[in-house]
Structure 1
């Protein structure tokens, strides 16, 4: 669920604004600390008098450090140069008077609708990928985690032989050619660290095949056979 914060110094949110915003499929909360901005997707700042202007500038400057947050200003007083200044400091829209509140509500709804779709699309794309060869990273639940060179190479070998056993000897021949073929602890050590990074992804599992080696198990692999696991 997306999070919308509202800054209202008097903690007395305009009833019309509250009615327009709360029915939507996102969480609405009053914001009074700048640390809360990091948890938000959007922020409405209420301006009741022109004396609030310096405080609003302060909030807009704080929001510049978190560029992913959309910021809208709702002013209960008519504005002159203040509107231009607030827009130049990062406000996405400035709405004045209660009569224009439906406009603000529609803007927020449209923005959050697109934002939600982008998040879903990103999650779906990430769920189809496993490794990024160029960055030597692995995709875990929408996040891209950095791997060491050995971790990446071991995971790539496992993927190339997915759902089949890769013997210890094959890892050693490809990645530790200068080491004794008895040093299987070199492989098991890398596998240990790999599991700590990939165990949160539910569609893959690195399984131990006793006395033989390891297997990368991919769920529903028949459905994913043509999916771009590598990019």
Structure 2
């Protein structure tokens, strides 16, 4: 597992790195200028900052990470204030690591989260492997998700580019095609966090997905709303 460390005004001390590496987490030093080039090689990111000096830059980095990845992100901060912590969490940080956090505690925070993430990925792979493609080959050929490109092809037509979150949502719906996926299941699959009345985020994501399908398909009504429960990818019209 790889953890990228983005050093701002404060530096990530070597004893923290050594503790992570003892637990099979490779530490990759990054800067605010080069972190985007390494996103695809990372499992997690820690932003090491001084909140009094780096708040604006930290927010900018969090926005970029949220836009381009689903990585676990922590802000390891000195001089932090309650308002700043709230903003960071709203921008996608998994947590705020305080200045008095010792190396063992930080290692446990990161390791426990990454192990949980890996278990969910393994379960997702098993679920995908259990999908009955032999009996539903016609669906698989006509409604084709392309993992390498994070895109979709419908009936061999033009490839539809998707954002990372859109692809994850559509993948979850496809693995449960013609069956309801609840709001909770969809949220936890896409954001890898516990669902807590955040249906508006799912609704917004599904809205954008439907808009893309509408522009690129003669029959864009694939994603059906199952009232009070969730959504269904209805492939019966293919």
Summarize the Cα distance change of 1:88–1:147 in structure 2 as closer, same or farther, 3 Å threshold.
closer
Give, in whole Å, the separation in 2 of the partners of 1:88 and 1:140.
Answer: 30
Aligned to 2:79: 77
Summarize the Cα distance change of 1:135–1:103 in structure 2 as closer, same or farther, 3 Å threshold.
farther
| Greater mean alpha carbon deviation, residues 103-112 or residues 55-64 | 103-112
Give, in whole Å, the separation in 1 of the partners of 2:11 and 2:130.
Answer: 46
Q: Is the 8 A contact 2:9 2:49 kept in 1?
A: no
TM-score (norm 2): 0.51
* Segments ≥4 residues shifted beyond 6 Å: 138-145
- Deviation of 1:96 (Å): 1.1
- Deviation of 1:10 (Å): 6.0
Is residue 66 from structure 1 mapped to residue 65 from structure 2 by the alignment?
no
Q: Is the 8 A contact 1:6 1:31 kept in 2?
A: yes
TM-score (norm 1): 0.52
Aligned to 1:5: 4
Q: Which has the larger radius of gyration?
A: 1
Q: CA RMSD in A?
A: 3.3
Give, in whole Å, the separation in 2 of the partners of 1:124 and 1:58.
Answer: 36
Summarize the Cα distance change of 1:47–1:122 in structure 2 as closer, same or farther, 3 Å threshold.
same
Q: Is the 8 A contact 1:4 1:27 kept in 2?
A: yes
Unaligned 5+ segments in structure 2 are 157-238
Deviations 1:61-117 (A, max 9, x none): 101213511110101334232111111111110011133554432221111101112
- Deviation of 1:127 (Å): 4.0
Summarize the Cα distance change of 1:127–1:146 in structure 2 as closer, same or farther, 3 Å threshold.
farther
Matched positions, count = 148
Structure with greater helix share of residues: 2
Summarize the Cα distance change of 1:140–1:25 in structure 2 as closer, same or farther, 3 Å threshold.
farther
Summarize the Cα distance change of 1:44–1:141 in structure 2 as closer, same or farther, 3 Å threshold.
closer
Summarize the Cα distance change of 1:77–1:17 in structure 2 as closer, same or farther, 3 Å threshold.
farther
Aligned to 1:28: 27
- Deviation of 1:49 (Å): 5.1
